[in-house]
Amino acid sequence: MRPTRLPLPAKALLALAVALALALAATALARHSLTIVPAPAERADEEVRRMYEAWKSKHGRPRGNCDMAGEEDRLRLEVFRDNLRYIDAQNAEADAGLHTFRLGLTPFADLTLEEYRGRALGFRGRRSGASAASRVRSGGARYRRPRPRGGDLPDAIDWRELGAVTDVKNQEQCGGCWAFSAVAAIEGVNAIVTGNLVSLSEQEIIDCDTVDSGCNGGQMENAFQFVINNGGIDTESDYPFIGTDGTCDANKENDEKVATIDGFVEVPSNSETALQEAVAIQPVSVAIDASGRAFQHYSSGIFNGPCGTNLDHGVTVVGYGSENGRDCWIVKNSWSTDWGEAGYIRMRRNVPWPTGKCGIAMDASYPVKDTSHPATARAAMDVLKMVLA
């Protein structure tokens, strides 16, 4: 359930109005710049208002019932109108063959770019320097599962089809993307090794990991280390997500340890090949630059839009493949199924620069789980055989 948005105070409304004015100016400048595709015709006001009301109904936005709320709604309509104008222009360019992806009315369609960045992004750490080889950090057990390399890599893999990915979740207005990314990777390796796919608790990490900052941001490797030190993690059903920081439930933290990991591996930085080798064996946590307007409104296709390498969002790579000769990563996000391709984004793979698209190859890591026991070893080997078949 999405939290109800409270009416903004006057100062915040003024800030929103200023942000809207800047956004409109930027859009106008872009429309007058040299482009191959002319800007599409402006939508009629009645059509925009009808689309806005339908969008609000779909995403649970309340109608204003006081003067302040009514003023905010009018400003939100103008933000929505400007975003829609941008979406239409980008899709016209996609229709002309300039992009391999399309935009749409995502849950962030009434937010300015700065508001979106403040609400949806939460990766706060970054590994310093590039590592020449994988670094393994463990809690004592050795990681024994074989790892495909080079020519042994499958051309494509989708861990969703292999039963190692839970349903898309929603971090709501909590900047806990880092916890969602880490949990998705833990869910994946746990399913691969044990044969059981279990939805695990992001809230436990947000509440109980004292190294990170909960809904104010964190780092996936720290989340892995928390689970190692804690001796495991609880299920989502027993320790559910509440959309905000909570108080650590010590009883559940100490007693309910449904899934465990034994260590984690930091993938060599700035190498899409190294990332591919890792994804070939399990889902992998990555940090990306998701701060762009095109990312905010992404709807479908292989994303090749503008983005940098200022890593600010944690997601999980759950596969890779190709479409029409274009290589791509399959990335699980935590912004609900209303964003992107039912909660996923496909991002361009094998780009000319070592960082990967949006820095996807700069800071990747994955948890490891001991396979020394015969039953878990057999389960892991069965999955690996399916991958390499």
Mark whether 184 and 55 lie in a shared domain.
no
Q: Look at residues 40, 70, 98 and tell me which one is the last residue of a structural domain.
A: 98
Asked whether residue 3 is domain-assigned, the answer is no
- Residue 236 maps to which CATH number? 3.90.70.10
Mark whether 87 and 225 lie in a shared domain.
no
Residue 3 pLDDT > 50: no
Residue 366 pLDDT > 50: yes
Mark whether 369 and 243 lie in a shared domain.
yes
**Residue range of the domain that includes 161:** 135-388
Type of residue numbered 269: S
Asked whether residue 274 is domain-assigned, the answer is yes
Which one is catalytic: 83, 170, 313, 328? 313
pLDDT tens for each residue of 306-363:
999 999 999 999 999 999 999 999 999 999 999 999 999 999 999 999 999 999 999 9
Asked whether residue 104 is domain-assigned, the answer is no
Residue 129 pLDDT: 45
Mark whether 280 and 194 lie in a shared domain.
yes
Asked whether residue 118 is domain-assigned, the answer is no
Mark whether 53 and 140 lie in a shared domain.
no
Asked whether residue 236 is domain-assigned, the answer is yes
pLDDT tens for each residue of 87-100:
999 999 999 999 99
124 pLDDT band, cuts 50/70/90, is confident
Structure tokens that stand for 54 in this block: 């339908």
Mark whether 152 and 63 lie in a shared domain.
no
Asked whether residue 110 is domain-assigned, the answer is no
Mark whether 191 and 273 lie in a shared domain.
yes
Mark whether 86 and 194 lie in a shared domain.
no
Mark whether 243 and 382 lie in a shared domain.
yes
Closest alpha carbon to 127 in 118, 135, 117? 135
Type of residue numbered 10: A
Reported as half-sphere exposure (CB side, CA atoms, 13 A), residue 2 has a value of 17
Mark whether 70 and 151 lie in a shared domain.
no
Asked whether residue 107 is domain-assigned, the answer is no
Mark whether 36 and 170 lie in a shared domain.
no
How far is it, in rounded angstroms, from Cα 39 to Cα 52? 21
Mark whether 312 and 256 lie in a shared domain.
yes
How far is it, in rounded angstroms, from Cα 131 to Cα 54? 49
How far is it, in rounded angstroms, from Cα 252 to Cα 265? 27
pLDDT tens for each residue of 37-72:
788 899 999 999 999 999 999 998 875 555 556 888
Q: Look at residues 98, 127, 161 and tell me which one is the last residue of a structural domain.
A: 98
User: What crossing angle do the helices spanning 10-32 and 113-120 adopt, rounded to 10°?
Assistant: 120
What's the sign of the alpha-carbon dihedral 40, 44, 47, 49? positive
> For the chain, what is the domain count?
2
Asked whether residue 112 is domain-assigned, the answer is no
236 pLDDT band, cuts 50/70/90, is very high
**230 part of the active site:** no
- Confirm if 269 and 287 have CB atoms less than 8 A apart: no
- Confirm if 22 and 113 have CB atoms less than 8 A apart: no
Residue 193 pLDDT > 80: yes
Instruction: Using alpha carbons, list the distances in angstroms from residue 166 to 148, 232, 363.
Output: 24, 18, 23
Which one is catalytic: 83, 91, 170, 177? 177
Residue 19 pLDDT > 70: no
**177 part of the active site:** yes
Residue 375 pLDDT > 70: no
Name the E strands within 27-99: none
Structure tokens that stand for 4 in this block: 């109800």
Greater pLDDT, 380 or 135: 135
**324 part of the active site:** no
Residue 122 pLDDT: 87
- Confirm if 233 and 257 have CB atoms less than 8 A apart: yes
- Confirm if 335 and 120 have CB atoms less than 8 A apart: yes
